[in-house]
Chains A and B, each alone.
Chain A
Amino acid sequence: MTAAVPEPRPLSRQVPAEGIRLRGVFHTYGRGTPHEVTALRGVDLDIAPGQFVAVVGHNGSGKSTVAKHLNVLLQPTEGDVWVDGLNTRDPAARMAIRRRVGMVFQNPDNQIVGITVEHDVAFGLENLGLPVEVIEQRIDEALRLLGIEHLRHEPPHRLSAGQKQRLAIAGVVAMRPRYMVLDEATALLDPAGRAEVLDCIVRLNREEGLGVVWITHFMEEAVHADQVVVMEGGQVVMAGTPRQVFQQAEEIRRLRLDVPLVTRIAAGLRERGLPVPADAVFLEEVVQSVCRSASGD
């Protein structure tokens, strides 16, 4: 994959039949009021089906605003968003887009509607108007995929935060979207809950081919992605594979973001003369190269 160089605007007329494409997206909150805030300033982004894209940036960088554009919770003030060839500006396409793009938010308590786990998973399916037998089947499947079958009849307030967030994800997965947007879905969880949720999503991406847009300010979580997109001031400032992005440690620090710990360790080791790859993002590869050089000496 190449580091994304934004294509010039005129090319954007070509709309891919598959994938999500944002071209020149601007978004201004409260336009025409004294509280006007421009959150997005010309965002270009491409997400292929089945791809795992991590969007990182600190608070106020516009990453949540981007997320809300992907399933028509927000409309661009300027520019266009297409999902599998459907423009989000088209009111007739709205439901079709929402069926394709599932959305999970930060606070699981504020997205669970159902009185019990299974009723919550059913909510979206009922909205789709699916036959009852299909609904039951999909509930079973989603609960199994997220490993919460044993909680089926529990009321949501009896669940741990990690379990609640997995329930929120199950409610979306059951609707079988092609893409899933997770807007800081782990921000309120403890480390165990965070790992729990991230593991589920990585597995859904690898095994079920679910396209994932993972929005986070934890850089460590971005190492699993196929593509990392760094946002700042409502713009995409860096994009590429985790290796390409994290190699530019100086640039990332300038953006007041952290380079993952492993990458920092690798850089430190290199400075001390060890042959560690500069683009290391996983602990194993650092350990292996250190061991190899040790046994080689």
Chain B
Amino acid sequence: MLDDIILGQYVPGDSFLHRLDPRTKMILSALLAVLVFVVHTWTGYALYFAFTAALAAVGRIPPRYLARGMRPMVFFGVITFLFQLVFVREGRAVLDLWILTVTDRGVVEGFFMCFRLLLVVLVVLLFTLTTSAVELAEAVDRLLRPLRRVGVNSYDVGLVLSGAIRFVPTLLEQADKVKKAQMARGVVFEQGNLIERGRKVTAILVPLLLNVVRRADELGMAMEARCYQGGVGRTSRMQLRTGARDWVAAAVSVAWGVMLVWAGL
């Protein structure tokens, strides 16, 4: 299961998508994510999916890898679908089961909500798979820089993001160690009902949390020792450059979005 989480797992490459300015990618991804909630027809979703598939091809992301990344989301997709089935009351009833009434509108809405969820995740995946954590941090820093005037340290926000990504493997390793240590002391994680299992998880979470706090403390000290002062007077090694490529990407995406909306799809 954990191996399936590919969010934040950058796939190195030098495709058109990889070489885009991360700021452009971030803004366009956000726009695309909004657009998914505007689309409301089958054709619209088909076109939207075709566009993201084209993006994946341009970014040279293997479809199978993407599919694997989407796998953990299927569960949420199904839940969303069922929710719509139960709670949408408009439309013609197609199924009457005791207190449950499923309407035709409910079925359609169920599919649409499910598509929306999956497509948003797909867009986010395409962004993170083609953007390294360093670029991501830099983009966040630059995009949030105007907020410095109201006291937001944009550099810190970027650093927290890239730091989180940096520590994911370290913490997974740590969680595994704690789990094995608890197993060695007789905890059987695969046994018991849901409540018992939940209680056993705390045997992992508590030591893990303590460890994270200690780590954070030491990391903070090591950063201070390396003259960290919260981005003040700091140079950035990464130079972000917006070029013709970015304008092309923006023009294509915006034109395509406007078309979808204008055609009422």
Q: Which residues of A contact B (CB under 8 A)?
A: 68, 71, 73, 95, 98-99, 102-103, 105, 107, 109-116, 119, 122-132, 135-136, 155-157, 168, 171-172, 175
Q: Are A110 and B222 in contact (CB under 8 A)?
A: yes
Please give, as numbers and ranges, the residues of chain B lying within 8 Å of A98 by CB-CB distance: 224-227
Q: Which of B17-25, B228-236, B251-259 contacts A (4 or more CB under 8 A)?
A: B228-236
24 residue pairs of the A-B complex, CB under 8 angstroms, read: A68-B221, A71-B225, A99-B227, A103-B222, A109-B170, A111-B222, A112-B166, A113-B166, A113-B222, A115-B165, A123-B226, A124-B227, A125-B237, A126-B234, A126-B236, A127-B226, A127-B227, A129-B234, A136-B237, A155-B169, A157-B173, A168-B222, A175-B226, A175-B227
B215 within 8 A of A: yes
| Interface of chain B, main secondary structure | helix
Q: Are A110 and B166 in contact (CB under 8 A)?
A: no
Please give, as numbers and ranges, the residues of chain B lying within 8 Å of A115 by CB-CB distance: 132-134, 162, 165-166
Q: Are B218 and A110 in contact (CB under 8 A)?
A: yes
Q: Are A127 and B163 in contact (CB under 8 A)?
A: no
- Bound: A130/B235 CA distance, A: 6
Please give, as numbers and ranges, the residues of chain A lying within 8 Å of B225 by CB-CB distance: 71, 73, 98, 102-103
Please give, as numbers and ranges, the residues of chain B lying within 8 Å of A113 by CB-CB distance: 159, 163, 166, 219, 222-223
Q: Are A124 and B226 in contact (CB under 8 A)?
A: yes
Q: Are A95 and B227 in contact (CB under 8 A)?
A: yes
B202 within 8 A of A: no
Q: Which of A102, A115, A116, A136 has the most CB of B within 10 A?
A: A115
Task: State how many angstroms separate the Cβ of A26 from the closest Cβ of chain B.
Answer: 21
B239 within 8 A of A: yes
Please give, as numbers and ranges, the residues of chain B lying within 8 Å of A107 by CB-CB distance: 218
Identify which of B133, B162, B229, B239 contacts A127 (C-beta below 8 A): B229
Q: Are A110 and B227 in contact (CB under 8 A)?
A: no
Task: State how many angstroms separate the Cβ of B62 from the closest Cβ of chain A.
Answer: 20
Q: Are A119 and B222 in contact (CB under 8 A)?
A: no
Please give, as numbers and ranges, the residues of chain A lying within 8 Å of B229 by CB-CB distance: 95, 127
- Bound: A18/B234 CA distance, A: 28
Q: Are B222 and A132 in contact (CB under 8 A)?
A: no
Task: State how many angstroms separate the Cβ of B214 from the closest Cβ of chain A.
Answer: 8
Task: State how many angstroms separate the Cβ of B238 from the closest Cβ of chain A.
Answer: 9
Contacting A at CB under 8 A, from B128-175, are: 132-134, 159, 162-163, 165-166, 169-170, 173
Q: Are A132 and B226 in contact (CB under 8 A)?
A: no
Please give, as numbers and ranges, the residues of chain B lying within 8 Å of A155 by CB-CB distance: 166, 169
Please give, as numbers and ranges, the residues of chain A lying within 8 Å of B233 by CB-CB distance: 129
- Bound: A103/B163 CA distance, A: 20
Q: Are A132 and B235 in contact (CB under 8 A)?
A: yes
Q: Are A131 and B235 in contact (CB under 8 A)?
A: yes
Known: A115-B162, A123-B226. 4 other contacts (CB 8 A): A105-B222, A109-B215, A111-B219, A157-B173
Please give, as numbers and ranges, the residues of chain B lying within 8 Å of A131 by CB-CB distance: 235
Please give, as numbers and ranges, the residues of chain A lying within 8 Å of B169 by CB-CB distance: 155, 157
Please give, as numbers and ranges, the residues of chain B lying within 8 Å of A71 by CB-CB distance: 225
- Bound: A116/B133 CA distance, A: 10
- Bound: A107/B229 CA distance, A: 22
Indicate whether A129 sits within 8 Å of B235 (C-beta atoms), given known contacts A124-B227, A157-B169. Answer: yes
Task: Identify the closest chain A residue to B233 (Cβ).
Answer: A129
- Bound: A156/B171 CA distance, A: 13
Please give, as numbers and ranges, the residues of chain A lying within 8 Å of B221 by CB-CB distance: 68, 73, 105
Please give, as numbers and ranges, the residues of chain A lying within 8 Å of B234 by CB-CB distance: 126-127, 129
Task: State how many angstroms separate the Cβ of B47 from the closest Cβ of chain A.
Answer: 36
Identify which of B162, B166, B224, B235 contacts A135 (C-beta below 8 A): B235
Identify which of A73, A103, A122, A127 contacts B228 (C-beta below 8 A): A127
- Bound: A73/B228 CA distance, A: 12
Task: Identify the closest chain A residue to B166 (Cβ).
Answer: A115
Please give, as numbers and ranges, the residues of chain A lying within 8 Å of B159 by CB-CB distance: 113
Q: Which of A105, A109, A126 has the most CB of B within 10 A?
A: A126
Please give, as numbers and ranges, the residues of chain B lying within 8 Å of A129 by CB-CB distance: 233-235
- Bound: A135/B236 CA distance, A: 10
Task: Identify the closest chain A residue to B215 (Cβ).
Answer: A110
Q: Are A132 and B132 in contact (CB under 8 A)?
A: no
Please give, as numbers and ranges, the residues of chain A lying within 8 Å of B134 by CB-CB distance: 115-116, 119
Task: Identify the closest chain B residue to A99 (Cβ).
Answer: B227
Please give, as numbers and ranges, the residues of chain B lying within 8 Å of A119 by CB-CB distance: 134, 237
Please give, as numbers and ranges, the residues of chain B lying within 8 Å of A110 by CB-CB distance: 215, 218-219, 222
Please give, as numbers and ranges, the residues of chain B lying within 8 Å of A171 by CB-CB distance: 226
Task: Identify the closest chain B residue to A123 (Cβ).
Answer: B226
| Top 3 A-B pairs, shortest CB-CB distance | A111-B222, A124-B226, A103-B225
Q: Which of A113, A124, A132, A156 has the most CB of B within 10 A?
A: A113
Task: Identify the closest chain B residue to A74 (Cβ).
Answer: B221
- Bound: A128/B219 CA distance, A: 18
Task: State how many angstroms separate the Cβ of B11 from the closest Cβ of chain A.
Answer: 13
Task: State how many angstroms separate the Cβ of A293 from the closest Cβ of chain B.
Answer: 50
Task: Identify the closest chain A residue to B237 (Cβ).
Answer: A122
Please give, as numbers and ranges, the residues of chain B lying within 8 Å of A168 by CB-CB distance: 222
- Bound: A127/B228 CA distance, A: 6
- Bound: A157/B169 CA distance, A: 7
Please give, as numbers and ranges, the residues of chain B lying within 8 Å of A156 by CB-CB distance: 166
